[in-house]
Amino acid sequence: MELLHWLAGQSPLIYLFVAVALGYLVGKLKVGNFVLGGIAGTLIVGVVLGQSGVQIDSSIKSIFFALFIYAVGYQGGPQFFRALSLKSLNQLLSAATMCILGLLTVLAFAYGFGLDRGTAAGLAAGGLTQSAIIGTAGETVQKLDVSADLKALMETNIAVGYAVCYIFGSIGPIIMVTWFFPTIMRWDIRKEAIKLAEQMSGGTKTLEPGEFNAADRIDTRFYQLAAGGSHLGQSASSFDATYDEVTVEAVLRSGQELNLAQDPALETGDILAITGLVSVLDAPPQDWGPEIPPPNGYSLVLENRHLVLTNPDYAGSKLQGIHDHTKSAALRDVFITGVKRAGRNLPLLPNLELHKGDELQLTGSGRDLNAVQKSIGYPISAAAVTDFVFFGLGMTLGLLLGLIEFRIAGIPVSIGSGGGCLLSGLLFGWLRSTHPRYAALPTGAVNFLRDFGLAVFVAVVGISAGPQVLTTLQEQGLNLFLFGIGVTLIPQVIGFYFSYYVLRIQNPIEALACLVGGRSANPGFAALLGKAENATPVVSFTVTYAVANVLLTLWGPLIIGLISTNPTP
């Protein structure tokens, strides 16, 4: 113990990183299918380490929370602003309804059972599984006109409420979307996901687990033109024009590669390197001649290029439209081999609607990719380095917005640096999606800011709250857990039926995806994806998740402002 006290005095930051390391280790432990997660694990370990009485500068907590919340806003910016359009109005209202129901449920328990401000905010953070509420509520607590001891007690109660309510807050949505609602509505999630995928693909067969669609696989094979073939004497470009899903990448004659830019005429014995869909290459026309092994020493280099879709002519269009454009714009074929939105892979289906800011992966030769990319968007590789000018401006703007105060029931309330950085992150994330030359923040960097920022913030909260946690748990533990169940389940039940019958979100997959998205319930979404066994829930989830992340984060200051009860020391 003497060593621990010595470390606490000499280098308290050691406790911080130990909490993160052990917290994520604890978070990996599985009980059945439930995984606690690194953030909840870090909070628990932080509370344990906090029993030593170590003190960590509170400014560290503020800095890392601001970084975390800016990253959250930056990632959600494109989808959040798109959700404000009429096309996504029902999903926007679904997410807003779910969030408002969550707030009202928390307030009902707080007023009905006399919960203090800190406990109510912790109940919201855990029951609604929104860790950001800890930060925004805690910032508001620090601005209250009460004693320092009372502020510390409220922050402890926030941490305790989160820890007690978080476990069922994570499990509840899983139960609701994988068992409760499918049972009540008599839905088979897998079958409904297949139906939705077929609608998005224009009727194409959706495959069962273990099957794969060869049309989604790209390959290059070599064929030697035989005498009498119909393509003899044709140019390479004429060969390409004959087939929809393949392209001649190279022509070899007498061991030498011909210059395709000169569009050579094909002769008997020419070896064609043909790239295309495996479904076509597996059953080639006889006119291609026999398939042969790759010539010794010959290599064909193709490229996967990631582009951000910025062309307004294609935003809102179907995936098939982009595919048709690539065939008309390039001398050879370019293949669309991936689409991501908000970091999540979308199903590659012809009727998939593309949005501005989507990330497209195109496969083809460098020359052909160059021919089509300018009319689609900007290559991500061109902006793979953080734009620190806009990053600094974004953080500065967020901190300035956090200084703005307003009053609720005569109490000064502000969105704090957390809420301000969330709003500036939304703005700069949207700016990046519409003008990719500016405000670049690579995916790896923004993920690190988000995950590490939250981990450090929660570790400081746990360590600071440690000495008082056991007392609070003994007084309120069981009641808090039961309140948390109510906060988790009540908004889901009411919100689901409101979305289904009033907002007319009646496709089963879309309805369930909106349910978990409107609660920012990542574990529930992962469970839904597992049941669906395809990516169809992603589209609805990304819109509602972006809206919920913003609204739930802002509930922290609102709860502190609307509840007047302070804890008893």
8 Å CB contact between 215 and 278: yes
Burial of 560 (0-12, 13-18, 19+ CB in 10 A): buried
pLDDT above 70 for 56: yes
State the pLDDT at residue 181: 94
Domain ranges of the chain: 1-56, 57-197+387-562, 226-288, 302-383
For residues 197 and 489, what is the distance between their CA atoms, to the nearest angstrom? 29
Domain 302-383, what fold?
Alpha-Beta Plaits (3.30.70)
Indicate the pairing of strand 335-341 with strand 344-345.
antiparallel
Token readout for 232 is: 């003899």
The more confident residue out of 527 and 333 is 527
Cβ of 80: how many Cβ atoms within 10 Å? 25
For residues 154 and 103, what is the distance between their CA atoms, to the nearest angstrom? 19
| Residues 198-234 pLDDT 10s | 776 555 544 444 333 434 567 888 999 888 788 888 8
- Band (409; pLDDT cuts 50, 70, 90): low
Q: Which of 557, 533, 553 is nearest to 207 (CA)?
A: 533
Q: Phi and psi (nearest 5°) for 115?
A: -75, 145
| Residues 64-117 pLDDT 10s | 989 988 998 898 888 788 777 777 789 999 999 999 999 999 999 999 999 999
Angle of helix 58-83 versus helix 416-434 axis, rounded to 10: 40
8 Å CB contact between 123 and 483: yes
pLDDT above 90 for 495: yes
Domains 226-288 and 302-383 belong to one CATH topology = yes
Helix (H, G, I), strand (E, B) or coil at 203: coil
State the pLDDT at residue 332: 55
- Band (408; pLDDT cuts 50, 70, 90): low
For residues 409 and 404, what is the distance between their CA atoms, to the nearest angstrom? 17
| Residues 356-397 pLDDT 10s | 778 888 888 787 788 788 788 877 764 468 889 999 999 999
Sheet containing strand 246-253, edge to edge, reads 256-257, 246-253, 271-277, 218-224, 291-292
CATH of domain 226-288: 3.30.70.1450
- The single-letter code of the amino acid at 312 is P
The more confident residue out of 44 and 552 is 552
| Residues 281-328 pLDDT 10s | 888 888 888 888 888 877 777 788 888 888 888 877 787 777 666 666
- What phi-psi label fits residue 409: left (phi over 0), alpha (psi between -120 and 50 degrees) or beta? left
| Residues 527-569 pLDDT 10s | 888 888 877 888 788 888 888 988 998 899 899 989 988 777 6
What is the reported pTM? Answer: 0.71
